[in-house]
Amino acid sequence: MRGQGLRVLVVDANAHIRRLIATLLGALEITDVSEARSPSAAASVLAEHRPDLVVVDWTNDPVETLLFVHRIRRGEGADRQVPVLALAASTHHAVLEEAREVGIDDVIAKPISAVDLIHRAAALLDERVNGRMALGAAAQ
Amino acid sequence: MSDRAAKKIGDDATLRVARMVERLSDEYAAVLAAETGRMETHLARMRAAPEDGDAPRAMFRIAHDIKGQAATFDRPLAGAVAGRLCGLLREAAPGDVSSETIAAHVALLRRVVDDRLRGAIDADGAALLERLDRAAGLR
- As a whole number, the mean pLDDT across chain B is 89
A131 in any annotated domain: yes
Interface of A with B in 4-43 (CB under 8 A): 14, 16-17, 19-20, 23-24, 26-28
A127-135 mean pLDDT: 80
| Residue A47 contacts B, CB cutoff 8 Å | no
* Crossing angle of helices B3-48 and A114-139, rounded to 10°: 130
> Which residues, including other chains, have CB under 8 Å from residue B41's CB and lie 6 or more apart?
none
The answer to whether residue A33 sits within a structural domain is yes
A2 occurs within a structural domain:
no
Mark B6-32 as b/e (b = at least 16 C-beta within 10 Å): bebbeeebbebbeebbeebbeebbebb
Render pLDDT for B52-86 as a digit per residue (tens, 0 to 9): 889 999 999 999 999 989 999 999 999 999 999 99
- Facing A17 at nearest CB: one of B1, B20, B69: B69
Q: Which of B13, B31, B67 sits opposite A28 (nearest CB)?
A: B13
Residues A46-81 pLDDT 10s: 989 999 999 999 988 899 999 999 999 999 888 999
Point out the residue among B5, B6, B69 whose CB comes nearest to the CB of A111: B69
Contact check, Cβ <8 Å, A16/B1: no
Q: Does position A28 have pLDDT exceeding 70, yes or no?
A: yes
Looking at the 3D structure of chain B, how many domains does it have? 1
Whole-angstrom distance, CA of residue A133 vs CA of residue B62: 45
> Prior bond to B94 cis, omega within 30?
no
Query: For A24, which residue in chain B has the nearest alpha carbon?
Result: B17
Is residue A91 assigned to a domain?
A: yes
Pick A137 or B29 by higher pLDDT. Answer: B29
For residue A111, give the nearest of B52, B134, B66 by alpha carbon: B66
Q: Do the Cβ atoms of B8 and A115 come within 8 Å?
A: no
Instruction: Say which residue, B2 or B119, is predicted with more confidence.
Output: B119
Is position B115 within any domain?
yes
Q: Which of residues 85-114 of A touch B (CB under 8 A)?
A: 110-114
CA distance A77 to A80: 9
Q: What is the ipTM of this complex?
A: 0.72
Nearest CB to B71; choose among A16, A111, A126: A111
Q: Is the pLDDT of residue B110 over 70?
A: yes
* A127 CB neighbour count, 10 Å cutoff: 13
Residue A113: give its domain's CATH number.
3.40.50.2300
Could you tell me the residue range of the domain that residue B68 belongs to?
Answer: 28-135
Average pLDDT over every residue of B18-40: 93
B116 in any annotated domain: yes
Residue A135 is predicted with a pLDDT of: 66
Q: Which domain holds residue A22?
A: 7-139
